[in-house]
Amino acid sequence: MAQKPSIPKGTRDFGPEEMAKRNYIFNTIKDVYALYGFQQIETPAMETLQTLMGKYGEEGDKLLFKILNSGDYLSKISDEELHERNSLHLAASLCEKGLRYDLTVPFARYVVMHRDELQLPFKRYQIQSVWRADRPQKGRYREFYQCDADIVGSDSLLNEIELMQIVDTVFTQFGIKVQIKINNRKILAGIAEIIGEPDKIVDITVAIDKLDKIGLDHVNAELKANGISDEAIEKLQPIISLEGSNGAKLNVIAGVLQGSETGLKGIEEIKFILDTLQSTGLNNEIQLDLTLARGLNYYTGAIFEVKALDTSIGSITGGGRYDNLTGIFGMPGLSGVGISFGADRIYDVLNTLNLYPKEATNATQVLFINFGEKETTYCLPFVSQLRKAGIRTELFPDKAKMKKQMGYANAKHIPFVVLAGENEMNEGKLTLKDMQTGEQTLVTIEELTTTVLK
């Protein structure tokens, strides 16, 4: 007996109903991006490892899926190298490409390669899958979609404000209540400076970014394991435990960071963003969270993260300002800021809260029953007419038993069924059955069209 096929852990198949829901997510986000003037691009699924490595920190590099070189990839490897079993060294020799980890680094590469074709500031959006060699768990997959929007070529904080408005608009349309968390990497750099560990900024941000997941005691243990002094850890405690309104937090942290020019610059930026957003009237709460760090190394200014309030699924959107990313590819001085919607987690939230609108998952609207060749010939012009009116219509392909055809309509949640037999053909009409109420009405094609479109 043949072995039953399977798919890799952390990946999923999506059936028709699931795809209808996913397309609702993608189309909603696309429409909002377009509303704000963003243009769509796509980049290859794989990039050179030279493009990807070193952009996500040490932990991120470990999660890159690497692709074996084609052909006889062992021909240039010596027996000694194979005997050593040094996986990192072998991977560097055997793999020149990897699957993209996110959409931001490929976008930075795209900007540098196409710099002469772009009108700056360049506002792009990109909706494609990414891959991470992570441990699969609820809400975390090895293959998943991101829905990114970035603005490059402008230092203005109005870009950050616009991205927060996009986040608010998207989740308002989805009906998901969220909390938008915001911080600034300059504030975090200032904190590292004030507690006497300016060279440990990466270790500090990676550790405190895990506060929600592992708790304060484990964060402190990780900080100590990374060589941060007990005195510095003690100074950090009141800062990462700070509570109160956004204004109160800003006042306290401004006092703490008086000796840090970088930290005060971060406070100035956050205050401008929060004050301006207050005047725009967001539907969702925006909260200053001094523990928010966003573990990726390329962020340099404002950082954002979004969490759904009515379910325990983690971050569903994130992003921030990056001033140096394109400099890695030989184009210094080009600032950018972006956000990424986690489509797969949004999918799970909408499922959990049952927030999909009915029309998002209803595909076919009308099914014509097949009574035979003569009846089919009569119905085909009406099928075409309904489709021209924008009504999603099917004609059952086989002359099957009525029970089977009605079962097909019920299984696909088709709201209307059309029957046309001898009587209908003699009158030039159709019988329309409402599958929800069971009511049947003899109608003209014009009346049928009006009823369905309502």
* CA 270 – CA 183 distance, rounded (Å): 7
- Residue 169 in marked binding region: no
Tokens of 451: 């009823």
Of the candidates 317, 351, 316, 345, the residue with the CA atom closest to the CA atom of residue 18: 351
- Is 173 assigned to a binding site? no
Which of these, 108, 111, 141, 104, lies nearest to 126 by C-alpha position?
Answer: 104
Q: Is 102 annotated for ligand binding? A: yes
Is 150 known to sit in a ligand binding site? yes
Distances (CA, A) of 4 to 1, 7, 13, 310, 325: 9, 10, 15, 38, 45
Q: Are strands 393-395 and 366-368 parallel, antiparallel or unpaired?
A: parallel
Sheet holding 95-99, edge to edge: 46-48, 95-99, 66-68
Sorted by sequence, the CB contacts under 8 Å of residue 333 that are 6+ apart come out as: 327
Q: Position of tokens 């609207």? A: 365
* Residue 294 annotated in ligand binding: yes
Question: Residue 355 corresponds to which tokens in the numbers above?
Answer: 């927030």
Q: Is 150 in contact with 107 (CB distance < 8 Å)?
A: yes
Is the bond preceding 121 in cis, omega lying within 30 degrees of 0? yes
- Ranges of beta strands (E only) in 309-380 are 315-322, 336-342, 366-368
Helices (H), 85-210: 87-94, 104-113, 158-174, 185-194, 201-208
Residue 326, annotated as binding a ligand: no
Residue 368, by phi and psi: left (phi above 0), alpha (psi -120 to 50) or beta?
A: beta
CA distance 143 to 11: 6
Q: Two tokens at 400? A: 């099957």
Structure-block tokens of residue 27 = 């189309």
- Among candidates 65, 76, 62, 60, which has minimal Cα distance to 209? 60
The Cα 315–Cα 293 span in angstroms is: 13
Residues 102-137, buried b or exposed e (16+ Cβ, 10 A)? bbbbbbbbbbbeebeeeeebbbbbbbbbbbbeeeee
Residue 104 is labelled as binding a ligand: yes
Q: Is 103 annotated as a binding residue?
A: yes
298 is in an annotated binding site: yes
Give exposure, 407-433, as e/b (b: 16+ Cβ within 10 Å).
ebbeeeebbbbbbbeeebbeeebbbbb
Binding residues, as ranges, are 102-104, 132, 146, 150, 294, 298-299
The annotated binding site for L-histidine is made up of 102-104, 132, 146, 150, 294, 298-299
